[in-house]
Amino acid sequence: MPRRHFYCVIMAGGIGSRFWPLSKSSYPKQFHDILGTGRSLLQMTYDRMLRICPKENIYVVTNERYAYLVQEQIPEMGANKILSEPFMRNTAPCIAYASWKIQQMDPEAVVVVAPSDHLILKEDLFIEKIGIAIRQAKERSNLVTLGIKPNRPDTGYGYIQFREAKGVVDHRVKGVKTFTEKPDLELANKFLESGDFYWNSGIFVWSVQSIQRAFEQHLPEMYKAFADGKDHYHTEEEQGFIRKVYETCENISIDYGIMEKSRNTMVVLADFGWSDLGTWGSLYTHLPQDKQKNAVVGKNVLLYNSTLNMVHLPNDKLAIIQGLHNYIVVDSENVLLICKKEDEQRIREFVNDVKLSKGDKFV
């Protein structure tokens, strides 16, 4: 299949509240250089997708308030490739919108859908697995997701139980037996011991024809809503039409709405150094650490008698940290966060408290 029929959709509309205070509603984490590489997470994702499809076949779906940030960070991307959502409605509407937009351009399209804020350390392996998923989606018309081999009983990820299946293009393609969302620790340990559960990466591959059939079957109202706009896509009427659709559109993820219901789902087993970078703790595990197990982003941080800390500071901020152990320290504009690593799940609670007591200025 010619490469011109390959497309990529980058989902970049989330707020990333667990990465507060760096990630704020006005400037979410996907637009930050969280890893200290000189490129934002969105830019790194875009660079990765250029290895899969032509740049003119890459779309970014984001909230309309962030469209200018996408344009700033990827100036080579045409404005018609940035799909602006008027309201946050989760991943199913986002994917439906992009699918219809692409289908109008190329009914033979095979699409890779990926979040904008994931870390992938072994990009060559990632590209290889995407190639397998594209073949499976193209030749067998399956909805394909990438499963990640778990290395710990993480309760923050969804899990996919796989089984052997017929009609696969590669031995690393398996059938999907069950999806389980964020199990408790006891169940996550059992999943790890069984060996037939992988993490759900949230990265998908399918043909536009296959995903539209799935919408028609499992989310028929949403399918009809976006199908009704077939004469509006790629015209001046598109944005007005999309606003009307989103006003009444169901807020539902593609996992709940389609993947967990479909009998046409397959998973490619993979292990390419993946993390969804959902929390400061997950970032800590993927950054270089000094001899005292401190992970630091920031050029002017001096640590004394301090261990196991996650420190993220602006390059022009000098910080002296003494006698601190197992903490998250983040300085971002007008907010300083100092929080025990073990309590990082409380960050959302902190954000809610700040909203109640201080308004939206700091969030």
Residue-range domain boundaries for the chain: 3-275, 280-358
The mean per-residue pLDDT over the stretch 282-299 comes to: 94
Q: What pLDDT is attached to residue 1?
A: 63
| pLDDT greater than 80 at residue 2 | no
Query: What contacts 220, CB < 8 A, 6 or more positions away?
Result: none
Mean pLDDT lowest among 31-35, 80-84, 152-156: 152-156
φ, ψ of residue 244 in degrees (nearest 5): -65, -40
| pLDDT greater than 70 at residue 174 | yes
Mean pLDDT lowest among 234-248, 275-289, 335-349: 275-289
| Sign of the CA dihedral with 355 first, then 308, 40, and 134 last | negative
Model pTM score = 0.94
Please indicate whether residue 58 or residue 157 has the higher confidence score (pLDDT): 58
φ, ψ of residue 145 in degrees (nearest 5): -120, 160
Query: At 39, is the pLDDT very low, low, confident or very high (cuts 50, 70, 90)?
Result: very high
Cα 132 to chain centroid distance, Å, stands at: 20
Provide the 8-state DSSP code for 20. Answer: T
Q: What pLDDT is attached to residue 293?
A: 98
CATH topology of domain 3-275: Spore Coat Polysaccharide Biosynthesis Protein SpsA; Chain A (3.90.550)
The mean per-residue pLDDT over the stretch 215-221 comes to: 98
